[in-house]
Amino acid sequence: MELDESNRPSSSDEDAHTPGQFVLEAPAKRTATGNDIPNGGLHAWMQVLGAFFLVFNSWGLVNSFGAYQTYYETALLASSTSSAISWIGTVQAFLLIIVGVVSGPFYDRGYIRTLIVLGTIMTVFGMMMTSLASRYWEIFLAQGLCVGLGLGCLYVPSVAIVSTYFSTKRALAVGLTSAGGSLSGILYPIIFRRLQPSLGFGWATRIIAFIVLATQLISLTILRARTIPNEPRALLEPAAFKEAPFALFTLGMFFFLTGLYAPYFYVPVYAERIIGTSPDFAFYLLAIINAGSFVGRVLPPLIAHRLGPYNTLLPCVFITGIIGFAWMSVHSLAGIVVFSIFYGFFSGAVLALPPTVIVALSPDVRFAGTRIGMAFGAAGFGVLVGNPIVGAIVDIPRGKFAGAQAFAAAMMMAGSILLLGSRILRLRSHKDRMM
């Protein structure tokens, strides 16, 4: 990375920042030129590959937890409740999001390699410790806390770096990067299911940890930050929540995320216990959901390039909520497969589009990263509490899932209504119909 000393900020520039923001000061006063975005070329597309593997191992492990949820409920942690077991996966997902609020500013100051190394070590170590664990608290500490903290270090670089290398092709690049989480969500459950019966839980988990390590080394080798900002990035911008469209969007995402991950965690259990599918097929349903999500993370962002991110997001959130209610009427093998495909597609779109919407809602794009961190940090509490509530409602021994399904779908529909309200308020103030 070539540094341009002529762009070194003056002392007055260094001290200037927006009032009401908490700022992380740069450890080294340096900057890199941000002009002439490559928008293609071998080096730029290699960054997409490196970021792809970061998402592959961050959201990918979260999307794969349903395989562990089913195994824990039926074998290793059979004495624990569904709600208690789901806390392992939801804490992992919550930490992935909330740690980004802190790791984001460190990325902006040029610590991308430090974040990748730290995240890789914690993720691999956590998975290795999980492979040795046999009690609930051991698995919670290893797979929930340790892996979750590691994933939080990996997530922000995966989101941030690609946008600095692309402009007109940004939607395609971001979509391809985001698809990494769905691809590993297909592969990791299959790997776990195929290896666990023959090699045991420990070695199946350790092999996944080795795959994480190998793919993370690729990211560490090829990823390079193209720019380092001239000024410190704000950790928080509390005044943003006084803007009604942004506040409603954040609240809407909180409700939506409260229900969104219920099928990712519970479809395998539902298929096996309620529909009566084989354990093998129940595991593969998680791969089917993530296959749909793979397409959903790539195609809608391309449509958003023409229609606008918010105009694309709104139909996807409403359709996801409707499909959530439709889950209550699924009682056949064909029905659960169709449900998994369509739910995966539209939920994948919902997970891919919000960062672009938040950028459009930001009056100053220099602080869009701060707002993304704030919005996802607040909305992430929905991920934290959603599945444990679903698990508490589910009554597996009696085969009662309807209450949990209705709760998840209702939360998603409530979130959809709030997101629509955010869009209407934005239209009234800015008239940006192509947003």
Residue 375 or 365, more confident? 375
pLDDT of residue 31: 42
Q: What is the pLDDT confidence band of residue 88, given thresholds at 50, 70 and 90?
A: very high
pLDDT of residue 106: 75
3-state secondary structure of 393: helix
- Cα–Cα dist 296/429, whole Å: 30
115 touches 161 (CB < 8 A): no
Residue 166 or 16, more confident? 166
Name which of 16-25, 146-155, 383-392 the model is least confident about.
16-25
State yes or no: pLDDT of 356 exceeds 80. no
State yes or no: pLDDT of 26 exceeds 60. no
Distances (CA, A) of 232 to 114, 155, 199: 18, 20, 50
Q: Which two tokens stand for residue 126?
A: 């956590």
Residue 267: name the closest of 312, 330, 315, 209 by CA: 330
- H or E stretch at 77: none
pTM for the full predicted model: 0.78
Looking at residues 263-279, what average pLDDT do you find?
86
pLDDT of residue 235: 67
Q: What is the pLDDT confidence band of residue 251, given thresholds at 50, 70 and 90?
A: very high
Residue 150 or 175, more confident? 150
Looking at residues 337-350, what average pLDDT do you find?
92
**Tens digit of each residue's pLDDT (9 = 90 or more) over 317-332:** 999 999 999 999 999 9
- Cα–Cα dist 292/300, whole Å: 12
**Tens digit of each residue's pLDDT (9 = 90 or more) over 112-161:** 888 899 999 999 999 999 999 989 999 999 999 999 999 988 887 777 77
Domain spans of the chain?
Answer: 39-226+233-430
**Tens digit of each residue's pLDDT (9 = 90 or more) over 400-428:** 788 889 999 999 999 999 999 998 888 87
State yes or no: pLDDT of 20 exceeds 70. no
* Residue 327 DSSP code: G
State yes or no: pLDDT of 209 exceeds 90. yes
3-state secondary structure of 120: helix
pLDDT of residue 18: 40
- Sign of torsion, CA 336 338 341 345? negative
Residue 415 or 309, more confident? 415
pLDDT of residue 323: 95
State yes or no: pLDDT of 315 exceeds 80. yes
* Residue 24 DSSP code: E
Distances (CA, A) of 195 to 188, 199, 287: 11, 6, 15
Q: What is the pLDDT confidence band of residue 27, given thresholds at 50, 70 and 90?
A: very low
The per-residue pLDDT of the chain, averaged, comes to 81
Q: What is the pLDDT confidence band of residue 14, given thresholds at 50, 70 and 90?
A: very low
Q: Which fold has domain 39-226+233-430?
A: Growth Hormone; Chain: A; (1.20.1250)
Cα 293 to its chain centre, rounded Å, is 12
Q: What is the pLDDT confidence band of residue 181, given thresholds at 50, 70 and 90?
A: confident
Q: Which two tokens stand for residue 146?
A: 């340790």
Q: Give the start-end residues of each E strand in 109-191.
A: none
Which range of 92-96, 226-230, 406-410, 431-435 scores highest in mean pLDDT? It is 406-410
